Structure 1
Amino acid sequence: MTDPSQYVRQREKGSRDTSYPPPPERLDIPVYDNHCHLEIEDGEGLPLDEQLDRALAVGIAGAVQAGGDVESSRWSAWAATQHPRLLAAVAIHPNEAPLYAAAGRLDAAIAVIDELAEQPRVRAIGETGLDFFRTGEEGHAAQFESFEAHIALAKKHAIAMQIHDRDAHDAVLETLARVGPPDRTVFHCFSGDDAMARAATERGCFLSFAGNITFKNAQNLRDALRVTPRDRILVETDAPFLTPVPYRGRPNAPYLVPVTVRFMAAELGVELDELCAQLAANTLAVYGSFED
């Protein structure tokens, strides 16, 4: 792909409601969406400018756009240069790593990530990690190889790392303990319980909570939120996925972050403005200023 601006992916629509939810009430203190995939069109589709304008209108000051393969990482890095409210994360997703390895292209793909990470608005390596839900044992070796290479890249470039961890909690923690985590490590879309939250934050990690914390069957996430130190909490959409209740199943977007933030404040029993100020400070501590 020679022109990243032409890259787009389509999310499968199926029979669900693909209309975008109405905008929530504006947050008085702006926060940030710590992880989204705005290259993926869902439902009616929203141009990137409109995505970011809708977000700003409800108090979302910026977003971290995450890649998962070579093309989406190139798009993420390009998009961050076009929009002052976007920063980028670049990586080979753990479910993509075995595919690149099978084609003999994993080293070359990681070399592209290394090159992209040199760009000033690329502030994280991500999403990388381990996924034992979608990838069977035959792909685990490639996932571990890729994960460790990405950890090294985050350290090399002195930027953050966003971890994808699905059904691999122990293996992720063991890997971090063995090779040492980057200084700023984030569990994107945290999926563990309170014990996992304690283990991760004891290692200095940040936990980023998405809209699935509002789901009825996600008590483990609510338990994890309550034991996470306030200076280690982040919020994200993982858009266009994981749309919070009451809009579950419809397209997600950064402008829906306030729904999740209000739910989190209620769960924690804290004032909304207090939580927003903390979330904003935590984001800037991990990724740096969006204005640089």
Structure 2
Amino acid sequence: MPNPASPDKNTRSASTPPPLPEPLAVPVADSHTHLDMQEPSVGEALSAAASVGVTTVIQVGCDLERSRWAAGMAAEWDSVWAAVALHPNEAPRLAAEGGAARLDEALAGIEKLAALPQVLAVGETGLDYFRTGEEGVAEQQRSFREHIALAKRLDKALVIHDRDAHADVLRILGEEGAPERTVFHCYSGDAEMAELCASKGWFMSFAGNVTFKNAQQLRDALAVAPPELVLVETDAPFLTPAPYRGRPNAPYLVPVTLRAMAETKGMTEDALAGHVAANTARAFGY
């Protein structure tokens, strides 16, 4: 059996960061990352990303504290922009702690942060029925509606987290009216939903899971998504692309996902990167 005082070979391998990929010739942005959840310092993460052609990152907050951190990092680093919000799973947690007043207090804090110039988006917000049971649905949906209204009020992009909730996400967007710039982060729908998003002019951001063997539905969706509406993201430290699945993710791995996306779309790497770079700037307004 392995020495309990030291990790075994498989554990060490799983915790070892993947190698730097070949740099992109056309620089792009990581449209969704969580630097606060990654082991390297912000400076190290940004330096590694820039060395392979990932020259801009959108740092995303998931609660009030992490959103404050995101806004602070965006103020400190030229290559970082921020998105702030209460994650869908955060809304029912806050309501359970202190009722509607506690949720309203947190939403007011998000609104103050969202007004800052370095904060370009309201997100990630939306619905997540994977981890929240029926008792949390009402708070999630109320929070989502409040975030939609905030994005429109401040003319910021809306970044949507949609997990096991496609029908309700689309319904609420229809009822409230989507902001002019709406991004489906870590796109998880099928090709039919991608065509619907395209008809609305909504951006679809694909993460490392598009490279997974069991993700043919995502590749089918990517195949029909117009190049002018496609973004790339890491959602790091999660969803590390193949062949590094299970190891730490970071913005410098965007090229791995982008190259797989280009293959799926039958495009050259440079052509897709050019679209992605322009799309991200247009989506977030930088």
Q: TM-score range by the shorter chain?
A: over 0.9
Partner of residue 124 from structure 1, selected from 118, 121, 125: 121
What residue in structure 2 maps to residue 46 of structure 1? 40
Conservation of the 8 A alpha-carbon contact between 1:233 and 1:279: yes
Where does the alignment leave 5 or more consecutive residues of structure 1 unmatched?
A: 1-13
Provide the rounded CA distance (Å) in 2 between the counterparts of 1:118 and 1:159: 9
Question: What are the equivalent positions in structure 2 for 1:40-119 lying under 5 Å apart?
Answer: 40-41=37-38, 45-104=39-98, 105-119=102-116
Does residue 1:151 correspond to 2:177, yes or no?
no
Q: Which amino acid aligns with 1:66?
A: V
What residue in structure 1 maps to residue 209 of structure 2? 212
CA deviation after TM superposition for structure 1 residue 222, in Å: 0.1
What residue in structure 2 maps to residue 181 of structure 1? 178
Aligned residues: 273
CA deviation after TM superposition for structure 1 residue 288, in Å: 2.2
Q: Runs of at least 4 residues of structure 1 off by over 2 A?
A: none
CA deviation after TM superposition for structure 1 residue 230, in Å: 1.0
Does residue 1:251 correspond to 2:248, yes or no?
yes
Conservation of the 8 A alpha-carbon contact between 1:173 and 1:200: no
CA deviation after TM superposition for structure 1 residue 179, in Å: 0.7
Provide the rounded CA distance (Å) in 2 between the counterparts of 1:108 and 1:62: 31
Q: Which amino acid aligns with 1:87?
A: W
What residue in structure 2 maps to residue 4 of structure 1? none
> What's the CA shift string for 1:238-258, capped at 9, x where partnerless?
000000000001000000000
Does residue 1:135 correspond to 2:132, yes or no?
yes
Normalised TM-score (structure 2): 0.94
Question: What are the equivalent positions in structure 2 for 1:235-274 lying under 5 Å apart?
Answer: 235-274=232-271
> What's the CA shift string for 1:75-96, capped at 9, x where partnerless?
0000000100000000000011
> What's the CA shift string for 1:87-133, capped at 9, x where partnerless?
00000000110011112210000000000011101000000000011
- Higher share in helix: 2
Higher CA-based Rg: 2
Q: Which amino acid aligns with 2:57?
A: A
CA deviation after TM superposition for structure 1 residue 32, in Å: 0.3
CA deviation after TM superposition for structure 1 residue 201, in Å: 1.9
CA deviation after TM superposition for structure 1 residue 280, in Å: 0.3
> What's the CA shift string for 1:157-207, capped at 9, x where partnerless?
101010000000000000001110011000000011101111222222100
What residue in structure 2 maps to residue 278 of structure 1? 275
Where does the alignment leave 5 or more consecutive residues of structure 2 unmatched?
A: 1-9
> What's the CA shift string for 1:249-289, capped at 9, x where partnerless?
10000000000010011111111111111000000101122
Normalised TM-score (structure 1): 0.92
What residue in structure 2 maps to residue 199 of structure 1? 196
What residue in structure 2 maps to residue 7 of structure 1? none
Provide the rounded CA distance (Å) in 2 between the counterparts of 1:204 and 1:139: 30
> What's the CA shift string for 1:18-72, capped at 9, x where partnerless?
111000000000000000000013xxx2010010000000000110000000110
Q: Which amino acid aligns with 1:22?
A: P
RMSD between superposed Cα atoms in Å: 1.1
